[in-house]
Amino acid sequence: MTAPAPLPPAPARVLVLNSGSSSLKYQLLDPRAGVRLAQGLVERIGERSSRLKHTPEGGESREHIGPIPDHDAALKAVATELDRDGLGLDSPELAAIGHRVVHGGMSFTEPTVIDDAVLAEIERLIPVAPLHNPANLTGIRTARALRPDLPQVAVFDTAFHTTMPESAARYALDLGTADRYRIRRYGFHGTSHAYVSRATAALLGRAPEEVNVIVLHLGNGASASAVRGGRCVDTSMGLTPLEGLVMGTRSGDLDPAVIFHLMRVGEMSADEIDTLLNKRSGLIGLCGDNDMREIRRRVDEGDPAARLAFDIYIHRLKKYIGAYYAVLGRVDALAFTAGVGENAAPVREAATAGLEGLGIAVDAGLNAVRADGARLISPGSARVAVAVVPTDEELEIATQTYALVAERDSEKN
Ligand code: ADP
């Protein structure tokens, strides 16, 4: 008797797409194994000098410069590169495409399989995310056109924050006006906050439901969140990513009257103020640099503008740590993540200095160690664990996408 032919491997790869207005970032992952197979970026789409950089895992990067007129051409160019590595988009091993979608409003609390109704709802949310959602929609439409047979899943930056109670999610604004214009605090970086809060619980060897974590996502954009038992109860970004911490180029919190003042006294338009607060404020506005490495180098040389920028950045961060401590009541861990949080030991040291009374302390030796994985930097005796937890938004999107598709398939069978 001949043995039955082995079944083909179940499709387990997920292509994660993060589509910007003139860019397309992508990663191909196997979320079950937690493995990345390839990643890349197409920039300056629509210009003559578009650039595609593709890197197969463990291999040499390949770069192409030349016109890529639109997202459709960009995704086809990506598919060609993946093909060259034997990872083509027509492979039966590809299970789904996962899309990062910035704004899911109140409509989307979970990753969602995309159909025409979902597309229409993401479109309806454009007024609250005018920069991001149109670009995300372009990515989705392009991918659907290329692989109409494949499940496409939207994973929303806002979804993790939809568990915030009304007391945290509402501004103290006239209710009618707020509802009419859908003004509330949505929060962003949710995929990262979800991943890091879970990974922090794992680092402590505990279930996410048991621990309260303050997550500090400090990249070029930055946000803090208070996570109680795996559910977000507050976060620092609001209607848009402008609220909260001092960021690379964004002001974060300020008195809203600054805006009327700039309009009335500075005679600036809404668009000019938008650009000022989103692109020319924060660290870059304060000292001309938004890269924390450069700022620290200047601080060490005694540069007063860099010192002031650093001090304002740290002061705001401390205020949020204190606020979220009070919101949570009991804090088990403080987790630093993203470019600054994972790499800038002086930021971690300064943000936690003087917080011993709250049970928060950092061990100077552990803080100085440069390492890749999640790690504790607090002394063993500290009441609150302080951790450095590298974020991986693409892996989280792939994991959520795969879980949803696998669940759907098992329901069908
Ligand atoms: P985003 O995804 O928001 O663009 P990242 O999470 O990649 O940002 O973080 C980028 C920022 O991380 C840089 O602007 C820089 O300030 C900071 N950064 C990266 N590496 C280091 C480092 N070794 N030391 C200090 N800051 C760093």
| 6, pLDDT greater than 70 | no
State which ligand 1 atom lies nearest to the alpha carbon of 338.
Answer: 6
Query: Using CA atoms, how far apart are residues 189 and 393, in angstroms rounded to an integer?
Result: 9
State which ligand 1 atom lies nearest to the alpha carbon of 293.
Answer: 25
- Which tens digit of pLDDT belongs to each residue from 316-326? 999 999 999 99
CB 189 within 8 A of CB 385: no
The preferred substitution site among 292, 313, 396 for testing ligand 1, maximizing ligand atoms within 8 Å of CB, is: 292
Amino acid identity of residue 134, one-letter, is: P
State in Å: Cα 88 to ligand 1 middle.
31
State in Å: Cα 248 to ligand 1 middle.
9
According to DSSP, the residues that pair with 55 across neighbouring strands are 39
The preferred substitution site among 291, 313, 337 for testing ligand 1, maximizing ligand atoms within 8 Å of CB, is: 291
Smallest CA separation from ligand 1 atom 14, residue: 291
Domains in the chain (CATH in brackets) are: 13-156 (3.30.420.40), 204-393 (3.30.420.40)
3-class DSSP state of 376: strand
Query: Using CA atoms, how far apart are residues 86 and 94, in angstroms rounded to an integer?
Result: 12
Q: Cβ atoms within 10 A of the Cβ of 312, count?
A: 16
> Which of the following is catalytic: 90, 157, 174, 300?
157
State in Å: Cα 206 to ligand 1 middle.
29
Q: What is the pTM of this model?
A: 0.93
DSSP 31-77: TTTTEEEEEEEEESTTSTT-EEEEEETTS--EEEES---SHHHHHHH
Smallest CA separation from ligand 1 atom 23, residue: 343
According to DSSP, the residues that pair with 213 across neighbouring strands are 227, 333
State which ligand 1 atom lies nearest to the alpha carbon of 248.
Answer: 14
Q: Which residues fall within 8 angstroms of residue 13, CB to CB, at 6 or more apart?
A: 28, 29, 30, 37, 87, 91, 93, 94, 95
The DSSP code for 162 is G
Q: 211: which 2 tokens?
A: 């621990």
- Which tens digit of pLDDT belongs to each residue from 32-57? 999 999 999 999 999 999 999 999 99
Which pLDDT band, with edges at 50, 70 and 90, does 129 fall under?
A: confident
Q: How far apart are the first and last CA of the chain?
A: 29
Task: Give me the chain's average pLDDT, please.
Answer: 94
- pLDDT given for residue 347 in this prediction: 98
Mean pLDDT (whole number) for 218-246: 97
CA angle 256, 257, 260 (to 5 degrees): 110
Q: 141: which 2 tokens?
A: 């439409």
Q: Please report which residue ranges of 85-205 form alpha helices under DSSP H.
A: 116-124, 133-146, 166-169, 175-180, 190-203
Smallest CA separation from ligand 1 atom 2, residue: 219
* Phi, psi of 26, deg, nearest 5: -145, 155
85 is catalytic: no
CB-based pocket (< 6 A), ligand 1? 219-221, 248, 290-293, 338-340, 343-344
The distance of Cα 220 from the centroid of its chain, to the nearest Å, equals 11
The DSSP code for 351 is H
Q: 205: which 2 tokens?
A: 């060897």
* Phi, psi of 385, deg, nearest 5: -75, 130
- pLDDT given for residue 98 in this prediction: 97
- pLDDT given for residue 349 in this prediction: 98
Query: Using CA atoms, how far apart are residues 379 and 360, in angstroms rounded to an integer?
Result: 9
3-class DSSP state of 271: helix
CA angle 287, 291, 293 (to 5 degrees): 105
Strands 212-218 and 222-228 come out as antiparallel
Average the pLDDT over each of 4-8, 53-57, 128-132, 185-189 and give the range with the smallest value: 4-8
| 183, pLDDT greater than 70 | yes
- Which tens digit of pLDDT belongs to each residue from 263-322? 999 999 999 999 999 999 999 999 999 999 999 999 999 999 999 999 999 999 999 999
DSSP 184-249: S---S-HHHHHHHHHHHHHHTTS-GGG-EEEEEEESSSEEEEEEETTEEEEES--SSTTSSS--SS
- Which tens digit of pLDDT belongs to each residue from 63-89? 999 999 999 999 999 999 999 998 988
Q: Which residues fall within 8 angstroms of residue 257, CB to CB, at 6 or more apart?
A: none
- Which tens digit of pLDDT belongs to each residue from 82-107? 999 989 888 889 999 999 999 999 98
Helix axes 345-352, 304-328, angle to 10 degrees: 60
CB 170 within 8 A of CB 185: yes
Smallest CA separation from ligand 1 atom 12, residue: 339
| 361, pLDDT greater than 60 | yes
- pLDDT given for residue 409 in this prediction: 82
